Structure 1
Amino acid sequence: MTLLTEDRVRERARMSTKAAGLSSRELLARQARTSQRQYDIFLSQAIKDEELVLGVYTILSEDIGLTVFCDWVESSVSDHGNTTPADAEYIKGKMLASRGLMFIDSEHADASSWMSWEIGWFHGAKSRVCVLPIVHSENDQYRGREFLGLYPMVEEDDRFVLRVPARLGDVVARYAAPKPLALATWMPFQVWATMETLPDYFLS
C-alpha cells in the first residue's frame, strides 16, 4: 500500500484539463451542476490546492464513479475567508446529504480552519470520515497531525485501487485468533463510500 503523491494526482488533473482544453479553475467551474439529493462523498479541501482538488475530484467521480460534493465546484462561495452563516448552513446541508467525508491532507490543509470545522462536524454527525494524505514523493514520510490520527488513512494498492483500513486493534479484540487474519482489513474505497451500513471498525 502506498500514499498518493502530488505527481500522481496532478497528472490526473492535467489529463482532464488537456482533454477539455481548459484550466483547472475553468474545469472546476464548468463541472458545477444541479445539486443532488445525496452524495457518496463530501470532499473537504483547501482553496489553494486547485490542481490537487481537481485531480482527486476526477479520480473519485470519473475513475471510481462516485457522486462527490466539492464546495469549490458547487457552492456559490469559493472564498472561505468570506463565508457567512448562511454559507455554513448550506455546507451543513451538503454534509448531511453525504454518506462520507474525505479530508484531503495537503500542505495547505494545515492552515485551513474551515476544513477542521468540516471534519469535526461530520465526525460528530456521521463518523464515516477518512483522510487522504498527499505527499510530495513516494519516499516522503506522512507528517500527519495528531487529531487526524483518529481517522482511517486512504492508500492505494499496487493495482491503483484506493483502500480504507479497518481499526485492526478493534478487529483483533473482537475475534479470537486466528480469525482476524482471515477477515478483510482493507476495504476498497468505492465500497466504503457507498455501503449503506459499515462495520464500526471501518468508522472513526
Structure 2
Amino acid sequence: MALFTEQQLINRVSRQQITGLAGYDMSRKAQVLLSKTRNFQNTPQGRLKSYDIFLSHSTNDAQKVAGLKLLLEDMGYSVYVDWIEDPQLDRTNVTKDTAAVLRGRMHTCRSLFYAFSEHSGGSKWMPWELGYFDGIKQMAAVLPIRAGSTASDSFQGTEYLGLYHYITVGDDTTGRRGLWVRESVTKYIVYEEWLKSSQPIQR
C-alpha cells in the first residue's frame, strides 16, 4: 500500500486514449476527457447523481485531480469533482450560491477526500468543505498527493489535518486494487469497511 504520487496521476492522464487528440498536451487531454461528463450533469439524473467520493481539492491541481479521478474510477469508485460535474460554479469567489450547490452535492456523497498537496493550503474552499462534510457525515479523510514518484505509506498531517485518517492505494487479500483508510502505517482498514463505520485495525 502506498500514497498516491504526482507522477502516478500525471501518467494516468497522459496514457488516456482520446480519439483525435494524438499529440495534444496533457492539460488539453484532461479538459476534453473530463468535459465529456458535463452534458450528463445537465440532465435531471445528473443533478441527482450520488457519488462514493467528494474530492475536495485546489484548482491549481486540476491536472493531477483529473488523473486522480481517473484512477479512482478505474478502481470502481464514483467521484465528484465540482468543475467537471458543475462547470457553472466559480470557485474563485466565495458565494452563497456556490456554497449551496456544494452542500447539496456533499449530501449525495458517501465520503470526502481532502486532496492534500503543496497547493491545498491556499484553497478558499477546502477547509470549509472538510469541516462541513465532517459535521454532517463524519466520513472525511485526507488523501495525500506525494511529490515526485517515490512510494511511501506514511503521512503526518499538519495542524487540524492530523485529526483525520488518510488514504492509500493497494491490493487487498484477493489481489483487487482498492483504497485503504489509515490511522498510521500499522493501523488501517479497507475503504468499504470504513464506510460501514468500522475503524482502522492495528496490524
TM-score normalised per structure 1: 0.77
Distance (Å, rounded) in 1 between the aligned partners of 2:147 and 2:49: 36
Structure with the higher strand share, 1 or 2: 2
Q: Which amino acid aligns with 1:186?
A: Y
Residues 43 and 102 of structure 1 are in contact (CA less than 8 Å); yes or no, is this contact kept in structure 2? Answer: yes
Shift of 1:67: 1.8
Shift of 1:94: 0.3
Structure 1 residues 149 and 72, CA gap change in structure 2 (3 angstroms)? same
Residues 52 and 111 of structure 2 are in contact (CA less than 8 Å); yes or no, is this contact kept in structure 1? Answer: yes
Q: Does 1:148 align with 2:161?
A: yes
Q: Which amino acid aligns with 1:59?
A: L
Distance (Å, rounded) in 1 between the aligned partners of 2:145 and 2:81: 17
Shift of 1:37: 3.5
Shift of 1:134: 0.7
Corresponding residue for residue 55 of structure 1: 67
Distance (Å, rounded) in 2 between the aligned partners of 1:186 and 1:139: 17
| Structure 2 residue corresponding to 1:46, chosen from 55, 58, 61 | 58
Corresponding residue for residue 9 of structure 2: 9
RMSD: 2.6
Deviating above 6 A after TM superposition, structure 1's stretches of 4 or more consecutive aligned residues are none
Unaligned runs of 5+ in 2: 22-27, 41-45
Identity of aligned residues (%): 31
Distance (Å, rounded) in 1 between the aligned partners of 2:157 and 2:53: 22
Residues 135 and 142 of structure 1 are in contact (CA less than 8 Å); yes or no, is this contact kept in structure 2? Answer: no
Distance (Å, rounded) in 1 between the aligned partners of 2:146 and 2:14: 18
Q: Does 1:74 align with 2:85?
A: yes
Distance (Å, rounded) in 2 between the aligned partners of 1:90 and 1:153: 26
Q: Which amino acid aligns with 2:8?
A: R
Q: Does 1:24 align with 2:30?
A: yes
Deviations 1:92-127 (A, max 9, x none): 000011110011111111100201100011011111
Distance (Å, rounded) in 1 between the aligned partners of 2:156 and 2:197: 28
Structure with the higher helix share, 1 or 2: 1
Corresponding residue for residue 110 of structure 2: 99
TM-score normalised per structure 2: 0.77
Corresponding residue for residue 188 of structure 2: 186
1:187 is paired with a residue whose SS is strand
2:189 is paired with a residue whose SS is strand
Residues 13 and 29 of structure 2 are in contact (CA less than 8 Å); yes or no, is this contact kept in structure 1? Answer: no
Corresponding residue for residue 65 of structure 1: 76
Distance (Å, rounded) in 2 between the aligned partners of 1:23 and 1:198: 38
Unaligned runs of 5+ in 1: 169-180
Structure 1 residues 126 and 117, CA gap change in structure 2 (3 angstroms)? same
Structure 1 residues 105 and 64, CA gap change in structure 2 (3 angstroms)? same
| Residues matched between the structures, number | 181
